[in-house]
Structure 1
């Protein structure tokens, strides 16, 4: 066991982030890796037990972390996004949640052997999915926008509803038992829930108003939001347990739909905080489990209950609630299967386990075991199958990683056409219809609109694209586009053209702090590249083989040619840039912008070879 709390906290954070990196590196579900790491550190090897070591601080830390995570997720719930999906989403989070609650309670009673009281509490609890598990899976699976939005909205909205249902079930149980309560306790519960929603909306409106009127300086905006979220959660939760989750969800949705630019700017900061909290909290929760809890998971009743929840309760609730909507059968199958449980289920289960035991329900002792069994089984099963199933159902974006080009021009069109010929998804975006004329004439996919507009995310599906190239004539605009989309594409995959070096423009220092990586060699600016295309330069594709190695290719290439990128057999694209010069290997395709003289020589060589073969054949025929 580790004696120092500071050292333990450092190890937990390191394990969480290391799990996230390992999941990214080997394309594994992050929640699965974090769960396994936590189990190994806690009950398996006994390095530490956070719940025992942190004592009374453990539950408040978990609760506040869940509040921040849920708030960050609700910041993405813009009502414009759900346009056209309102009916299915509403049905799933209301009628579907109710069916899931009832069926889950029946399964808990008849299959898991729990009393009716505990069964109805756990049935309400198990309708939750939540952003802690859904959002990482959606990023991994690359689902099409429609099913992805349904799963995201359900996960974030149902999280507080599930916690409230568990509280409501418990209040009903206590009322029926008649232990020191009166009917007013139920009324107080409903009033507390309504107060939590009003408090969340008020906090959201208040923060939004202060930001819009300039009452909060830019450097204090993130700390102010963070503090208000904690205050909003704490006030509501102190009045009635678990209503704090409802309050922060209402606050996040209010801010999301006010469309304040400051909130959009800090959203990425919130995402980073949320990722850190998810990584830390999941390791803490799994490391706090005991060996007895893990052994209880392998009980026959527990296994049967989990299988019933996966294969009967969830699909039945989704198919029933979405009956008569415009969801396709494939979408219903996917949504009916994907329902991983996460942090909220574990934290609320641990709370109700102690509360129900104190109330005299001895069977509540296995509540944590059943909850963890469902959590771990669902994150493993859904984490490893969401990609495969979405492809089988035609609901994922397949194919190699694509390229999004901002800025229409002769060079952009030529580059896009070359990528298309290599079977790479590509799209040119520009706000000018005229600048897109060359793309339209050559049949290149294009989007007419301002890429920096918030409307773009509703009309343009960016899921197929992993690389961004800002290729307009304005260096400052290119830098702005790259800076805006760095959180989506990553700095390594965000590129802009070389600076134009016009008189009066001094952006050389600026580009090191903002913007994307500089493409190609120095001097390959917008003007230079388009001049080359207009002067007859051609996009040349060269296959690297064992006979024609990359070294031979470099030795033969024209000195005036410009190396653009290397396409790997896996579909990955390595662009040549100022700071990195990739090396091609056997099987790769190297694309360059070659002067017409060199291309003319190649054509002449081919014609000469063709004549030589023809003459040789004629001579053989004469003989």
Structure 2
């Protein structure tokens, strides 16, 4: 058979297998790397024999190098610099001290438990110091955790990859030469990282400046120019100092993001799609060349080595590196649990196996097999259990508290006071000086600024808040603000007051699914604000019970349609949330609401008095609300048996 045809078939089967694995993983909501490994082994030499990576020769190394550079650039481009700043100390420790701890601990485990010679044991440890954005990123998309926890895992995954790759190359040189000088090793590591970072900073800044100046280029062409520039920078760094190109890719991504090039969303989307393709191809190719017999031949000692790496070395690493952080023990435990190995470990170990074999040294295949065993065990164990561990430890982002509310009006201030009464942080943002003063007078924290300014949102602490609520008088502006907050800061609950029509116009927005319509459809904010100012409302709380739940739902929905009932907040499992339009109320929920009651205004007019005690007939299943309000009288009726 013609070689060119064989290579064509190899690439076609590889791409189909990789994308098929991604689709299946997305459908089943599990990390894609699980199926990529399975599909790669399935089409590889040991089973179906459809994919033979050795046909690519030196081309495999080229594909691996350029793909990993793109993956790390996309990782740097996706990092939230604001979030990294809050946990920078922990990330710094993990990629420096943590690297040393994993190197020493992993080497000891591989030697004592896996019975590898010391040089090979430390070579293995150098290959598994990395985690990687290709496995951590998809995992965090499926398991929404506290923003500081996510920032640490994402930052570690991106920044430690080039450090680990350079360290592995230096350890390999030591193994091949047979002599080791720790001082020289450290000097070489710092030198290559420094060269890579310098080229990345200069190249990323030039790239960002050029894109800002070249306004004539289309969005599609801009993305391709960035891709070409990235690979050019990577190659330049490799020419200056081998293995420094990966650091260049990461730093260039960080710089381009910080510069803020035009159409950043389009650029990130394009790079994300390319990264998914690269990951799919690489894992299929590398897993296809893996010998199952070599993994089985490792024995139980290697399994114990990986278990020690997961449950002894990683926890010690995280404990020491986060010792001075503000993280609680649950957050630290989750970070210690999550340390899956990914594409950098797989690709570098595959190249090392080839180099060791070419030099006539034993251990290359065993190193590759042990690294892939590490990848399989960490990804399967941690990837499939991360969601349940996060829920058990209560570190999911859905449990975050506090609110940032855009728009200072009587209802938004009332909601802010309710959150504040539960000792939750509340920030009001508005451009109107008079409205801001009213919020300050009511004891609320206020920023007189535009919510379009991400620096203001950052200063308000949105990255750690549980709720973002946009409720200005302009519905379309509210929707834009909410979508931007969802994309930039990713709070667990993003709500806004907006009409249905603008939502249809923005149906292609990435953030549209994260924004919920607040309170009721077509909410008349001005009308209800006037009701509050005129003291024509009562504040109440109703408890939904299982007996008669459907009747309660129907009754309350009928009151909403009549325009006399406004659900504001939902108290569920001791968590206070703004009521979304599409929320299905459950038994045990407490609905805090406003009830339109025009009688006090009529009494005031008849009596000529300035203040009148307001009364309201009992409403089924009503309780007193222990939340003071400067505007409202609280319903005092006790809960009825109905």
TM-score, with length taken from structure 2: 0.73
Q: CA RMSD in A?
A: 5.0
Note the 1:276-291 alignment, pairs <5 A.
277-278=278-279, 281-282=282-283, 285-286=286-287, 289-291=290-292
Counterparts of residues 28-67 of structure 1 (less than 5 Å): 30=31, 33-34=34-35, 38=39, 42=43, 46=47, 50=51, 52=53, 55=56, 60-67=62-69
Q: From 587, 600, 617, give the equivalent of 1:603.
A: 617
Residue 498 in 1 paired to residue 498 in 2?
yes
2:533 matched residue in structure 1? 534
After superposition, the Cα gap between the structure-2 partners of 1:128 and 1:4, relative to the gap in structure 1 and judged at 3 Å, is closer
1:559 offset after TM fit, Å?
A: 1.7
8 Å Cα contact 1:78-1:257 kept in structure 2 = no
Q: Distance in 2 between matches of 1:279 and 1:575?
A: 41
Moved more, 563-572 or 257-266: 563-572
Asked if 1:165 is matched to 2:167, the reply is yes
- 1:270/1:358 CA distance change after superposition, 3 Å: same
Match of 2:113 in 1: 111
- 1:469 is paired with a residue of what secondary structure? strand
Aligned partner of 1:231 in structure 2 is 232
Q: Residue 227 of structure 2 aligns to a residue in which SS?
A: helix
Counterparts of 2:434 and 2:133, CA distance in 1: 42
Deviation, 1:350, is: 1.0
Aligned residues: 587
2:629 corresponds to: none
The equivalent position to 2:22 in structure 1, one of 13, 16, 21, is 16
- Is residue 467–residue 489 contact of structure 1 (8 Å, CA) maintained in 2? no
Aligned 8 A contact 1:131 1:155 in 2: yes
Match of 2:247 in 1: 246
Task: Note the C-alpha offset of 1:160.
Answer: 0.6
Contact kept, 8 Å, 2:452 with 2:481, in 1: the verdict is: yes
SS in 2 for 1:408: coil
1:217-616 aligned within 5 A: 217=217, 219=219, 220-237=221-238, 242-260=243-261, 263=264, 266-267=267-268, 270-271=271-272, 273-274=274-275, 277-278=278-279, 281-282=282-283, 285-286=286-287, 289-296=290-297, 299-318=299-318, 325=324, 330=329, 335-383=335-383, 399=399, 404-415=404-415, 427-432=426-431, 434-436=434-436, 450-456=450-456, 458-462=458-462, 468-487=468-487, 495-498=495-498, 523-535=522-534, 536-538=536-538, 541-542=541-542, 543=544, 545-548=546-549, 549=551, 550-555=553-558, 559-561=562-564, 584=585, 594-596=595-597, 603=617
Correspondence list, 1:193-204, <5 A: 195-204=195-204
Deviation of 1:159 (Å): 0.6
Q: Distance in 1 between matches of 2:430 and 2:455?
A: 13
How big is each residue's C-alpha offset from its partner over 1:200-223, in whole Å with a ceiling of 9 and x where there is no partner? 233212112213334663523332
SS at match of 2:435: coil
Q: Which sections of structure 2, spanning at least 5 residues, go unmatched?
A: 1-5, 601-613, 622-636, 638-642
**Aligned residue in 2 for 1:71:** 73
Decide whether the 8 Å contact of 1:12 with 1:283 is kept in 2. Answer: yes
Instruction: Report the equivalent of 2:611.
Output: none
5+ long unaligned stretches in structure 1:
179-183, 501-505, 608-612, 614-623
Partner of 2:627: none
Query: Does the Cα contact within 8 Å between 1:142 and 1:463 map onto a contact in 2?
Result: no
Of 151, 154, 163, which aligns to 1:152?
A: 154
Q: Quick one: structure 1 residues 68 and 595, their matched pair in 2 at CA, closer, same or farther if it must change by over 3 Å? A: same
Q: 1:497 to 1:281 in 2, by over 3 A?
A: farther
When structure 1 is superposed on structure 2, of 43-52 and 4-13 the one drifting more is 43-52
Task: Tell me: CA distance 1:285–1:21, structure 2 relative to 1, closer, same or farther (3 Å).
Answer: farther
Which secondary structure state, in structure 2, belongs to the residue aligned with residue 362 of structure 1? coil
Please tell me whether the aligned partners of residues 34 and 282 of structure 1 are also in contact (alpha carbons under 8 angstroms).
no
Residue of structure 2 in register with 1:617 after alignment: none
Partner Cα separation in structure 2 for residue 598 and residue 203 of structure 1:
70
Offset of 1:351 from its aligned partner? Answer: 1.1
Task: Using structure 1 for the length normalisation, give the TM-score.
Answer: 0.75
Task: Give the direction of change, closer, same or farther, for the CA distance of 1:270–1:32 in structure 2 (3 Å limit).
Answer: closer
Q: Structure 1, residues 374-428: CA drift from partner, whole Å, max 9, x if none?
A: 122223444466666667778665637876532222122345567789x897855
Give the C-alpha shift of residue 491 in structure 1: 13
- Paired with 1:221 and 1:156, the residues of 2 have a C-alpha distance of 24
Task: Indicate conservation of the 8 Å contact 1:427/1:447, yes or no.
Answer: no
Q: What is the SS of the residue equivalent to 2:562?
A: coil
**Conserved? CA contact 1:427–1:444, under 8 Å:** yes
The secondary structure found in structure 2 opposite 1:603 is: coil
